[in-house]
Amino acid sequence: DIQMTQSPSSLSASVGDRVTFTCRASQSISTYLNWYQQKPGKAPKLLIYAASSLQSGVPSRFSGSGSGTDFTLTISSLQPEDFATYYCQQSYSTPRTFGQGTKVEIK
């Protein structure tokens, strides 16, 4: 199974900050890497697919990069509605696996 490791597990930031967090796969997954946002009590929402493609309707302040084993998600200017938990997920092979999540909290 492919293990996905996210860092950090949590971070505190202010509105307007640029934040970046990372996801590392235990083996190469090409660009089969997706990012989801989840708010408390809600279902996950797809933000980025194929490592760097923005899902329709997602604000352009979100961006993704990477290939192989190392990936990043960047929020260029944090907005109040962005405080949530973010998960990476590989779709290269089965079983599909998620990272443990990065929780973005208000500083």
Partner 1 sequence: EVQLVESGGDLVQPGGSLRLSCAASGFTFSNYWMHWVRQAPGKGLVWVSRVSSDGSGTNYADSVKDRFTISRDNAKNTLYLQMNSLGAEDTAVYYCARSRADIARSMDVWGQGTTVTVSS
- Using CB under 8 A as the binding rule, whether residue 96 contacts partner 1 is answered as yes
Query: Is the Cβ–Cβ distance between 30 and 90 less than 8 Å?
Result: no
Cβ neighbourhood burial of 80 (10 Å; 0-12, 13-18, 19+): exposed
Q: Is 91 in the site for partner 1 (CB under 8 A)?
A: yes
CA gap 28, 32 in Å, rounded: 9
99 binds partner 1 (CB under 8 A): yes
Site string for partner 1, 19-38 (x = CB under 8 A): ------------xxxx-x-x
Residues near partner 1 (CB under 8 A) are 31-34, 36, 38, 42-46, 49-51, 53, 55, 87, 89, 91, 94-101
